[in-house]
Amino acid sequence: MSRIGVFTCHCGENIGATVDCVKVAEMCKDIPGVVHSVEYKYMCSDPGQRQMQEAIKEHKLDGVVVAACSPRMHEPTFRRAAGDAGINPYMCEMANLREHCSWVHEKGEATTQKAADLIRVLVEKVKHNEPLHPIKVPVTRTAMVIGGGVGGIQVALDIANGGHKVVLVEKSPSIGGHMSQLSETFPTLDCSQCILTPRMVEAAQHPNITLMTYSEVEKVDGFIGNFKVTVRKKARKLDEHLCTGCGLCIQKCPNKKISDEFNEGLGTRTAIYVPFPQAVPNKPVIDTLNCTYYKTGKCKVCEKMCPTNAIRFDQEDELVTLDIGAIVLATGFKLMKTDAFPEYGYGKHKDIIDGMQFERLASASGPTSGVMKRPSDGRSPETVVFIACSGSRDRAKGVPYCSKICCMYTAKHAMLYKHKVHSGKAYVFYMDIRAAGKDYDEFVRRAIEEDEVKYIRGRVSKIYEEDGKLIVMGADTLMGGEPVVIKADMVVLATAVQSNDRSEELAQTLHVSYDSYGFFAEAHPKLRPVETNTAGIFLAGACQAPRDIPETVAQASGAAAKVVGLFSNEELTREPIVAVVNRQAAPVYSTCVGCFICQGACPYQAIEQEEIMARSGEVIMTLARINPGLCQGCGTCVATCRTKAIDLQGFSNEQLYAELMTL
């Protein structure tokens, strides 16, 4: 016979004002198996908890029901207290008298009765509870960071400085991300390369960091502390160990007219190339789509030039599988292209460019060496129009959200332009100026007041070309919607920040959730912003939502702290609320029939196949087995199994049946 104690809490007025707690405590004394029932004003308070612990000892209780608030609120509190008093923590259950009763009903006899019924149900559950023990899983203390932008670099450095190994996987030939393309950065106008390059080098040289550039994650198996990640190292067509980065091959490559991604199509590069001079690692790759040898079978000039014989035309992609304990996603964003705007000529006007192209024009390392020249004819533009919110906050473009960084970089662009072309005129069309951030509003004011950038609140409905000028037709909503027409030499669209290409595919590979725009979803918008819903996978930077550099770096350090925290344990303890496929004595073995319908239903890939073998080694049957390290206790498999072979520990069929039957 069970010896169960019931502790009814008034929660101040929260429960006490609606439910007659004294009467409830009295009623509970009559439930079979209950040997002790009391009420108290605040069970969660120190004296409340102590009262429970003393009762456990004094009355030799083997189970406890705390009738109070939601278990989401205080289940850990009471389980810990019960555990400290000497019973298995999982023999303590909570009846939710607050959310499920007092908050949703009027004061009255029926409400009090319902409170007593809720407790009766939980008493029945406790009678069928079994002591459970936390699950321990070992941790591989190596992290993987996916994406080598400023966010990924920061995460990698912080974890490495915390004393743990990091593998940094970057899909392009160099780390650096978008920040390496920027000219100067708001709100301080310091040179982007100058502050980023040292970090890139530090990451490359750090003894705890392994760089895997020109690589992509193909497959992720396993679970927190124990992932197995397969990475595809794309063939650079070059032996990285032999290459010294001298660049002779690049100089001699005859194929020089390839549109340059790093310069956003405003410059050209060769078929064997490094994306930019400060690239890390400073080792070229051969672009096989454009290389003459791969197209015609002839050339191999680079091979002849290379002093160390590093070129490998026959190199193949390589698949590497790594043991990883935690993963940080830092894959960044992409910008909407100018061809998404029919009203601005579908991107066919060369002088209508996007923000990143402007960065390259303004950059000292860019195709014009930082001199303002418009792309069509190389003339210095005398009038430039900047259009903020191009595509952002525009449902018709599928981007209802604010891209967050454009207000700031548009002000920066207008300012940089004025600094370079003193006589030039800069106009900014905007919807609102969103410059919340340390020194941000001051920065925008400086553009308007000191650099005399003309801000016009309104939208541009159309741009067309006439006599070598771009005619910008807008409206000034602060002047009653009065039409504004500007003859411009160049137009810069601050196009929307979007989730990166194939981010949904990557999310599916890693089993993390994403929002309807393809940005990775955090576990809680306020309280768990760097975690994903999948344990052991974290987020940093613009892959989660549009972000500027300070925010990216701050979040990156946050994610790194989570990883270092995780790695501070040799083993992880997990709640034992996991599903179990039953096992029985031979010849039954299990009521599982091995249909593996549950396997497809499990959202966490926790269900494995187990072969039951005879002594002879012959496989008698193949049954489902749940990996307790992976199972999140969602119960989906329990509902899917026709033969009820699966039970969720702590919520077994028998427990639920007993609960229902007591009503």
Partner 1 sequence: MEAVIQRAKELLEQGEVKAVLGYAKGTGSARRPHFARQAGQLDKLVMDEACVQNLAVYVTKHEVKKLGKVAVVALPVTQRAILQLMAERQLRDGSLAILAVDDGAVKELDSASALEEHLALKAQVLNAKDKASLADLEAMDQGQRWAYWQKELSRCMKCYACRNTCPMCYCDHCTMDCNRPQWVPVASHGIGNLEYHMVRTMHLAGRCVECGDCGRACPVGIPVHLLTIGAEETVHELFGQRAGHKAKLDYALSTFKTDDKESFIR
Ligand X SMILES: Cc1cc2nc3c(=O)[nH]c(=O)nc-3n(C[C@H](O)[C@H](O)[C@H](O)COP(=O)(O)OP(=O)(O)OC[C@H]3O[C@@H](n4cnc5c(N)ncnc54)[C@H](O)[C@@H]3O)c2cc1C
Between residue 577 and residue 596, which ones bind ligand SF4 under the rule CB under 6 A?
Answer: 578-579, 581, 592-596
Residues 199-228 binding ligand X (CB under 6 A) are 216
C-alpha span between 178 and 148 (Å, rounded): 10
Nearer to partner 1, 523 or 624 (CB): 624
What does the radius of gyration of the chain's CA atoms come to, in whole angstroms? 32
Nearest approach in angstroms of CB 589 to ligand SF4 is 11
Q: Which position among 129, 645, 649, 655 is part of the footprint of ligand SF4 (CB under 6 A)?
A: 645
Name the minimum Å distance from CB 523 to ligand SF4: 16
The vertex-80 CA angle with 77 and 81, nearest 5°, equals: 85
Token pair for 548: 């500027």
Residue of 377, 600, 613, 620 that binds partner 1 (CB under 8 A): 600
Residues within window 602-661 making contact with partner 1, judged by CB under 8 A: 622, 640, 642-645, 653-654, 657-658
Cβ nearer to ligand X, comparing 22 with 356: 356
234 binds ligand X (CB under 6 A): no
The angle that helices 71-84 and 46-58 make with each other, rounded to 10 degrees, is: 50
CA dihedral (425, 428, 433, 434) in degrees, to 10, reads -100
Is position 518 an interface residue for ligand X (rule: CB under 6 A)? no
455 φ/ψ angles, rounded to the nearest 5 degrees:
-95, 125
Query: How many residues make up the chain in this entry?
Result: 663
Considering the complex, what minimum distance in angstroms separates the CB of residue 556 from ligand X? 8
Q: Which whole-number Å values give the CA distances from 485 to 315, 468, 470, in the listed order? A: 57, 16, 10
Please, are residues 585 and 599 in contact by the beta-carbon 8 Å criterion?
A: no
Q: Which residues between 106 and 145 bind ligand X (CB under 6 A)?
A: none
x/- mask, partner 1, residues 567-596, rule CB under 8 A, reads ---------------------x--x-xxxx
The Cα 558–Cα 150 span in angstroms is 14
409 is an interface residue for ligand X by CB under 6 A: yes
Mask 145-184, x = binds ligand X (CB under 6 A)?
Answer: -xxxxxxx----------------xxxx----xxx--x--
Residue holding tokens 């925008």? 444
d(CA 220, CA 230): 6
Using CB under 8 A as the criterion, what x/- string covers residues 170-209 for binding partner 1? ----------------------------------------
Q: Tell me which stretch binds ligand X (CB under 6 A): 527-535, 540-548, 619-627, 650-658.
A: 540-548
Instruction: Please give the Cα distance from 64 to 70 (Å, whole number).
Output: 16
Q: Could you say whether residue 243 binds ligand SF4 (CB under 6 A)?
A: no
Give the whole-angstrom CA distance, residue 608 versus residue 227.
15
Q: How far is the CB of 223 from ligand SF4 (least distance, A)?
A: 10
Q: Does 130 bind partner 1 (CB under 8 A)?
A: no
Q: Quick one: which of 226, 632, 649, 652 contacts ligand SF4 (CB under 6 A)? A: 632
Pairwise CA distance, residues 328 & 147, whole Å: 9
Q: How many other β-carbons are positioned within 10 Å of the β-carbon of residue 480?
A: 7
Binding site for ligand SF4 (CB under 6 A): 578-579, 581, 592-598, 601-602, 604, 606-607, 624, 626, 631-637, 640-643, 645-646, 648
